[in-house]
Amino acid sequence: MSTTIAAQVEELILASYESMYRLAYSYTRNQDDAMDIVQESAYKAIKSAGFVRRPEHLKTWLWRIVINVSLDFLRKNKNELTCQEFSEPAAEDTYTDFDTLEALKVLDERERTVIILRFFEDRKIQEIADILNLNSNTIKSILYRSLKKLKAELQQGGLLYEG
């Protein structure tokens, strides 16, 4: 394993730790589960650092790991309901629009991922395309379709405030 790549991966994990947590939390809505996902993602990234061929794509690669570990976690724990889901959100949680977070449940995994990366993590369309290994036009289509679904859900629940 290249020491340079391993060091870059470790540095990136440390620099992106909060963003990784927010992304994982947006999937699980549970502090402990999000921390577990971040730890598992960091472990997988460090363990696989030697297989990275293009260091310029490390950030995209790390985001993909966090997303995949989050989705795997959700699949494994699909029927479990934790007490944390009904408690108050973490003080450090930066996602505070609870109506929108609740509305995200109407989206499938890929749509939710695109919305979270675009609006919660402020990623550009091309960066999302790279992370998800999709064409940027596909990401745009998913984004617009998802926004329509969210708008309909928020309007239906009387949660959309138009000014």
Query: Comparing C-alpha atoms, which of 57, 59, 49 is closest to residue 3?
Result: 49
**Is-contact 5 49, C-beta < 8 A?**
yes
- Gap between the Cα atoms of 3 and 87, Å rounded: 43
Q: What is the pLDDT of residue 65?
A: 94
The answer to whether position 117 is within a domain reads yes
Select from 36, 51, 81 the last residue of a domain.
Answer: 81
- Gap between the Cα atoms of 9 and 33, Å rounded: 22
Q: What is the pLDDT of residue 97?
A: 55
**Which parts of the chain register pLDDT below 50?**
1, 81-96, 163
Q: What is the pLDDT of residue 100?
A: 64
The answer to whether position 92 is within a domain reads no
Task: Note down the domain range covering 31.
Answer: 1-81
Q: What is the pLDDT of residue 99?
A: 63
| Domains held by the chain: number | 2
Q: What is the pLDDT of residue 158?
A: 55
CATH number of 13's domain = 1.10.1740.10
Length of the chain: 163
Q: What is the pLDDT of residue 89?
A: 41
